């Protein structure tokens, strides 16, 4: 019959527990040293989508300008008043387009910053999720080993009872730690998913605004309807970025844009002469 020295058994279990804890710590350290075991940072499309939006805004203004030029060329007579109105409309359209380009620049800067922050953040969160999953498995093994310390075969008496009582406290602590670790991977995953969802929502919103702009017809010559549509779309996108990324566009800035819109619309005859 083989007898087991209870002290040696307790020491052996303690060594196994320490080894499991070290393993969990090494897993975390290895992932951190590799700079993101969760994979490369996701490639968001917000900035590239916004570049496409910029092209649509520029094309919209060019379409308006060409529409006014074509309408003016077919007129046999242009009165001084109409000539002034045409020049005023061209100027107002340019001012409005300059504001559109300013909005685009501001939006792009925010998107570049958002992608620069969100990409590495999501990659880091994915790494932490994997680390916690690995630690979770190790901690479960620690709990199982700690439970064995409650009753060492062949060890009886006061010392055994006292050691078993201490082991019970350790089991409670480890059990609570394991319970907490069970929530960590899913909690981290939710945060990572939220960041990805925000950037995806922004990309889709940009795409919708771009399609909205391209569908608009020039309308009355000099009305710069396409340019106005771009302003409306860009203002809406700015508010959407405020909602998704945080921040607040001042009402004064929005009022300034609306003032340019109203001024532009008041400077061209409607209906157009001869229409």
Gap between the terminal Cα atoms of the chain: 112
The answer to whether the CB of 260 falls within 8 A of the CB of 96 is yes
pLDDT at res. 111: 94
Q: Which segment of 100-104, 134-138, 229-233, 251-255 scores lowest on mean pLDDT? A: 251-255
The predicted model gives 231-253 an average pLDDT of 80
| Cα 73 from Cα 135, distance rounded (Å) | 76
Query: What is the reported pTM?
Result: 0.70
| Cα 275 from Cα 271, distance rounded (Å) | 7
| Cα 177 from Cα 180, distance rounded (Å) | 5
Helix (H, G, I), strand (E, B) or coil at 24: helix
pLDDT at res. 122: 83
Say if residue 270's pLDDT is above 50. Answer: yes
pLDDT at res. 77: 81
DSSP state of 151: S
The tens digit of pLDDT for each residue in 214-240 reads 999 998 898 899 999 999 999 999 999
pLDDT at res. 208: 95
pLDDT band at residue 191 under the 50/70/90 scheme = confident
Domain boundaries defined on the chain:
6-265
Question: What percentage of the chain reaches a pLDDT higher than 90?
Answer: 29
DSSP class per residue in 94-119: HHHHHHHHHHHHHHHHHHHHHHHHHH
pLDDT at res. 160: 46
Q: Which segment of 49-58, 95-104, 174-183 scores lowest on mean pLDDT? A: 174-183
Report which of 39, 38, 44 is spatially closest to residue 199, judged by C-alpha positions. 44
Say if residue 104's pLDDT is above 90. Answer: yes
Report which of 101, 105, 241 is spatially closest to residue 249, judged by C-alpha positions. 241
Tokens of 45: 């499309």
């Amino acid at each position: 019959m083989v007898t087991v020295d209870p002290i040696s058994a307790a020491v052996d279990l303690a060594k196994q527990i320490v080894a499991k804890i070290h393993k969990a710590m090494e897993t975390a350290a290895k992932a951190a040293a590799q700079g993101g075991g969760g994979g490369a940072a996701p490639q968001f499309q917000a900035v590239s989508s916004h570049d496409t939006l910029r092209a649509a805004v520029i094309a919209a203004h060019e379409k308006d300008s060409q529409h006014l030029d074509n309408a003016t060329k077919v007129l046999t007579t242009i009165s001084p008043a109409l000539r002034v109105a045409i020049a005023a409309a061209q100027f107002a359209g340019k001012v409005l387009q300059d504001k559109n380009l300013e909005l685009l620049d501001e939006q792009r800067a925010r998107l570049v910053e958002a992608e620069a922050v969100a990409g590495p953040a999501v990659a880091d969160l994915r790494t932490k999720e994997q680390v916690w999953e690995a630690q979770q498995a190790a901690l479960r093994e620690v709990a199982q080993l700690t439970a064995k310390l409650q009753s060492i075969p062949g060890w009886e008496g006061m010392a055994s009872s006292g050691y078993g009582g201490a082991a019970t406290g350790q089991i409670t602590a480890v059990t609570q730690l394991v319970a907490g670790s069970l929530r960590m991977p899913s909690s981290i995953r939710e945060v990572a998913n939220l960041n990805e969802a925000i950037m995806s929502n922004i990309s889709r919103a940009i795409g919708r605004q771009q399609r909205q702009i391209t569908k608009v017809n020039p309308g009355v010559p000099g009305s710069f309807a396409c340019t106005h549509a771009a302003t409306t779309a860009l203002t809406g996108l700015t508010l959407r970025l405020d909602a998704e990324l945080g921040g607040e566009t001042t009402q004064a800035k929005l009022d300034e844009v609306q003032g340019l819109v109203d001024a532009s619309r008041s400077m061209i005859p409607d209906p157009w002469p001869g229409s």
